[in-house]
Amino acid sequence: MEKIKTEKYISCKWLESGVCFDNGVYGSNVKLCCYMSAPGGGNSMIFEDYHGEKINWEKFFEIKNRYREIQKSGQTVAGCRGCVFLEENNWPQIDYIDSIIFDHFTKCNCACTYCYTEENKKMYNSLKTYNIFPVIKELFEKNIIRKGGAIGFGGGEPTILPEFEKLLDLFIKKGFDNIRVPSSGIKYSKIIEKGISTGQVTVVISIDSSSRETYKKIKQIDAYNVVCKNIIKYSKAQKNSYNVISKYIIIPGINDTKEEIDNWLNFNKKNNIEIIVIDIENSWLERYRKDCVDEKILELIKYVREKAVEMKFNRLEICDRAKYLIEC
């Protein structure tokens, strides 16, 4: 087997071997990743004005290598400055892709009050997407893609994407085992169930509540009972209790009570959901970021952390926004 040359410098897996297919109000494009919270602003482009056309992979890697050379020089790609994913490592000096984010759709089957699409739901639900399956199929045919990275979905709601079933099935059949699908949980997916049963797919459902009334306030749709039923079905398909994640985004004034949190935790434990996520609503945090004065929300996040230990959940993930409050 040919030994792959590596070189040590500061970079990240997305700079080196990742790609994000994007679509939104600011344009449809191909870029390095979907992360925009770094001080540099993210959005490091590969191709702009992209709508599913056949990709010139030679040109693609020519652009990727320009970014690589900036990192190797000791500087940082402008959009990536300050990003938490940058790390010093021995990076393979070959052209390949192992990490993909599908973020080329914005249509959804619920209307979460905290979603970025809430500013103009009608417009986001009407944005046209493009077919990405032929592009991914070519990646496999040309042996450009390899296992070892991460496959993720943004959106929008993945399960209502026309290509979703065959796209996910392709990755499952090719043996990829780090596939993460965030979903509203409203539409049940047999292909997600298949991936959960083999341990290759993890579904993340942000239920954000433990009652029908609270759910309706947040999601602006009456689907709490359906979502609970589907979470339980997914959970029963698990091999090892690690492939269904329940997420709770704290929205001050709506679901910020210990009673609501306790009922959510009890629901998860009862139904063999052993990985849970806590987060904080972003627009609220943006308003209060400078002050860090809301002790109630801070205490609630700490309360979840303590309860997760007490109830012996396998893992609690605290998202960056919630970490910010704890560390502030």
pLDDT at 227: 98
User: Which of the 8 DSSP states describes residue 161?
Assistant: S
Both tokens of 21, joined, read 């297919």
Considering just the CA atoms, what is the radius of gyration of the chain in Å?
20
Q: Is the pLDDT reported for residue 190 higher than 90?
A: yes
Is residue 196 a contact partner of residue 234, using CB atoms and an 8 Å limit?
yes
Given the structure tokens 């599908």, which residue do they identify? 102
Can you give the pTM of this predicted structure?
A: 0.90
Q: Where are the chain's structural domains?
A: 7-327
Q: Is the pLDDT reported for residue 75 higher than 70?
A: yes
User: Which of the 8 DSSP states describes residue 2?
Assistant: P
CATH value of 7-327 in 3.10.20.340, 3.40.50.1370, 3.30.930.10, 3.20.20.70: 3.20.20.70
Q: Is the pLDDT reported for residue 28 higher than 60?
A: yes
Band of pLDDT at residue 327, cut at 50, 70 and 90:
low
CA nearest neighbour of 140 among 172, 164, 181: 172
Tell me the torsion sign for CA atoms 165, 166, 169, 175: negative
Q: Is the pLDDT reported for residue 288 higher than 80?
A: no
52-76 CB burial, b ≥16 within 10 A, e <16: beebeeeebbeebeebbebbbeeeb
Tell me the torsion sign for CA atoms 303, 307, 309, 314: negative
Greatest extent of the chain over all pairs of C-alpha atoms, in Å = 60
pLDDT at 324: 61
Cis peptide before 18 (omega within 30 of 0): no
Band of pLDDT at residue 283, cut at 50, 70 and 90:
low
Return the top range by mean pLDDT from 41-50, 79-88, 167-176: 167-176
CA dist 255 to 110, 208, 213, 275, 310, Å?
18, 7, 10, 20, 22
Residues 227-258 pLDDT 10s: 999 999 999 999 888 999 999 999 988 999 99
